[in-house]
Amino acid sequence: QAQLIESGGGTVQTGGSLRLSCAASGRSFNMYTMGWFRQAPGKERELIGTRTWNGITNYIDSVKGRFAISRDNAKNTVYLQMNSLKPEDTAVYYCAARYRSDFEQLASRWPYWGQGTQVTVSS
């Protein structure tokens, strides 16, 4: 069973950058697909992107070219590098894990979640 802890959120001006980290405990981290989601006030939780257990990365169109997911299996950590941030990126950001999964967009199908970290982009 995976336990996830995010860090790195904060407030940044438009055009700025942040890097979020998600540290996982438990065994076989390298066998989990890791996802990053976000939820803005009054909106549903949406998938930003995933890095699968076998190295495939996918992103939603609105963050392509600005956000990048990487993982360090030796440190049991996945990262979300966010550049060129916009006010519409303001949300609580969550990491999630799913064992040996292909790309999965539905939040309800991810069994393991972190507590979330707030990202605020000021205009």
User: Is residue 82 over pLDDT 80?
Assistant: yes
Which regions of the chain does DSSP assign to beta strands (E)?
Answer: 3-7, 10-13, 18-25, 32-39, 46-51, 57-59, 67-72, 77-82, 91-99, 112-113, 117-122
Of all residues in the chain, the percent with pLDDT exceeding 70 is: 100
CA 85 to chain centre: 15
How many angstroms separate the CA atoms of 117 and 82, rounded?
14
pLDDT at position 1 is 74
- 115: helix, coil or strand? coil
How many angstroms separate the CA atoms of 88 and 120, rounded?
9
Q: What is the pLDDT of residues 12-55, one digit of tens each?
A: 999 999 999 999 998 899 999 999 999 999 999 999 999 999 99
- Do the beta carbons of residue 69 and residue 82 sit within 8 Å? no
Average pLDDT score over residue span 92-119: 95
Average pLDDT score over residue span 51-67: 95
